[in-house]
């Protein structure tokens, strides 16, 4: 039996979770939670020059109930922290969180009474994109890392525990 | 007659000191006379200050006591090319009068759109009774400024219609821009104290 031209086949076999993972990674409906200057870089990434639509993430939903990925873009203050938590809780499973910019990763250069020192103290985070602000290439790199994670069906969202100083 | 001379003449019982620096007037005022002087500034046709541009506060707790707050330059910066040098450079230096060295100073910046002139008003406020009259009856813009000063410094504005926190949440204890607020103190609403 010779080689089979798969283009002529009218069926395709795969594992179900692999197929779902492949489909999910190209239909990222994101919720941009934009609070600060990183938002400009987020817009640059989303616009046609860098074109986040190539990765299937071109349609931001402005309701957390319709979205899969929470993009936290910009500094989060303690006053805003309960709001962010509520937005995260409103999202349906499966859901992922991207910390966009160094303020959301660690608090950045803010160390004061007002700022949350990294959103992973409040909600679990899947991908960290550091930078102040991160370049669009950096963002796309983070997005591809997220896609790899979604494709594998990994759910390694972790919270930072300040008592033990590790991810739990 | 410039503004500081006018006010000194008009309110000798309230004006503690005046200063002119490169054409900008500054008045140091007793807090008892704040409302009266402010009303004069707004309503008098030669002053006509119809715009309260800024209202803020200074905490002098560590002023000139800690190395970081000590003044670094003694001589004023060089004049821009379009200004003439003053005959008496000593007159440019301003020091707080010893008798008015209270912990707080509430600072008002006025601007007159019709006259195109400005005035800075400073009111020394005692640490034990941090309380001044509210300027909300005269300028509506004082509302949020005064709430911010209350939030950050804990200075009470008598007669303010809605004196509550504007930047911090209502569970927040203390006033974070006071110099004795611990720089490492954290009061998160949710999540760990980091």
Average pLDDT per consecutive 10 residues, chain A (168 residues; last block may be shorter): 69 77 88 91 90 87 89 92 92 89 89 88 89 91 90 70 68
Q: What is the pLDDT of residue A17?
A: 80
| Å between B151 CA and nearest CA of chain A | 13
A113 touches chain B (CB under 8 A): yes
pLDDT at B184 over 90: no
Contact A116 B188 (CB under 8 A): yes
Q: What is the pLDDT of residue B82?
A: 79
Contact B189 A112 (CB under 8 A): no
C-alpha distances in Å from residue A74, one per residue of A108, B91, B126:
10, 47, 39
B180 touches chain A (CB under 8 A): no
Contact B189 A79 (CB under 8 A): yes
Asked if residues A56 and A28 have their Cβ atoms less than 8 Å apart, the reply is yes
Q: Locate B100 and state its tokens.
A: 């008015």
> Coil, helix or strand for B128?
coil
A85 touches chain B (CB under 8 A): yes
Residues of B in contact with A112 (CB under 8 A): 176, 183
Contact B176 A113 (CB under 8 A): yes
Q: What is the pLDDT of residue A129?
A: 92
B164 touches chain A (CB under 8 A): no
Name residues 6-25 of chain B within 8 A of A (Cβ): none
- Has this prediction a pTM greater than 0.90? no
Instruction: Report which secondary-structure segment, H or E, holds A152.
Output: helix A136-152
pLDDT at B52 over 90: yes
pLDDT at B191 over 70: yes
B176 touches chain A (CB under 8 A): yes
Residues of B in contact with A118 (CB under 8 A): 194
Q: What is the pLDDT of residue A22?
A: 87
Task: State residue B183 phi and psi, 5-degree precision.
Answer: -65, -25
Name residues 100-139 of chain B within 8 A of A (Cβ): none
Please provide the average confidence, as pLDDT, over all residues in chain B: 85
Q: How many CB atoms lie within 10 A of CB A74?
A: 22
Predicted-complex ipTM score: 0.75
State the average pLDDT over residues B113-140: 91
| Å between B169 CA and nearest CA of chain A | 6
Dihedral of CA B68/B74/B76/B77: which sign?
negative
Q: Which residue of B has its CA nearest to A119?
A: B191
**Residue of A79, A82, A121 lying closest to B194 (CB–CB):** A121
B173 touches chain A (CB under 8 A): no
Query: Mean pLDDT: which of A105-119, B75-89, B92-106 is highest?
Result: A105-119
| Å between B176 CA and nearest CA of chain A | 7
Question: A89: closest CA among A31, A135, A147?
Answer: A31
Cα–Cα dist B149/B123, whole Å? 13
A138-147, B16-25, B68-77, B124-133: range with lowest mean pLDDT: B68-77
């Amino acid at each position: 039996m010779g080689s089979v031209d798969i283009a002529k086949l009218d069926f395709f076999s795969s594992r179900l979770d692999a197929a779902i993972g492949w489909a999910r990674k190209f239909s990222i409906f994101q919720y941009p939670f934009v609070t600060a200057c990183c938002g400009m870089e987020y817009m640059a990434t989303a616009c046609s020059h860098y074109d986040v639509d190539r990765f299937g993430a071109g349609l931001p939903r402005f309701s957390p109930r319709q979205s899969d990925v929470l993009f936290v873009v910009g500094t989060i203050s303690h006053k805003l922290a309960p709001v962010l938590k509520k937005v995260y809780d409103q999202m349906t499973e499966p859901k992922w969180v991207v910390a966009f910019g160094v303020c959301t990763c660690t608090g950045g250069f803010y160390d004061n009474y007002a700022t949350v020192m990294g959103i992973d103290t409040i909600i679990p985070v899947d991908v960290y994109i550091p930078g102040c602000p991160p370049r669009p290439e950096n963002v796309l790199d983070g997005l591809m890392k997220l896609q790899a994670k979604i494709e594998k069906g990994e759910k390694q969202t972790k919270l930072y525990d300040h008592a033990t100083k590790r991810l739990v | 007659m410039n503004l500081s001379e006018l006010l000194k003449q008009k309110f000798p019982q309230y004006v503690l000191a005046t200063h002119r620096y490169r054409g900008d007037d500054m008045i140091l005022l007793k807090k008892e006379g704040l409302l009266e002087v402010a009303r004069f500034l707004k309503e008098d046709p030669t002053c006509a200050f119809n715009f309260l541009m800024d209202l803020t506060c200074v905490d002098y707790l560590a002023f000139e006591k800690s190395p970081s707050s000590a003044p670094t330059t003694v001589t004023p910066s060089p004049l821009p090319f379009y200004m003439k040098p003053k005959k008496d450079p000593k007159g440019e230096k301003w020091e707080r009068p010893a008798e008015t060295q209270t912990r707080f100073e509430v600072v008002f910046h006025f601007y007159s759109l019709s006259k195109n002139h400005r005035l800075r008003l400073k009111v020394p406020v005692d640490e034990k009774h941090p309380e001044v009259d509210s300027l909300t009856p005269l300028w509506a813009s004082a509302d949020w400024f005064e709430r911010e000063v209350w939030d950050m410094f804990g200075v009470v504005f008598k007669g303010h219609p809605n004196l509550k926190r504007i930047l911090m949440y209502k569970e927040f204890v203390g006033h974070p821009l006071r110099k004795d607020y611990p720089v490492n103190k954290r009061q998160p609403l949710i999540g760990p104290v980091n």
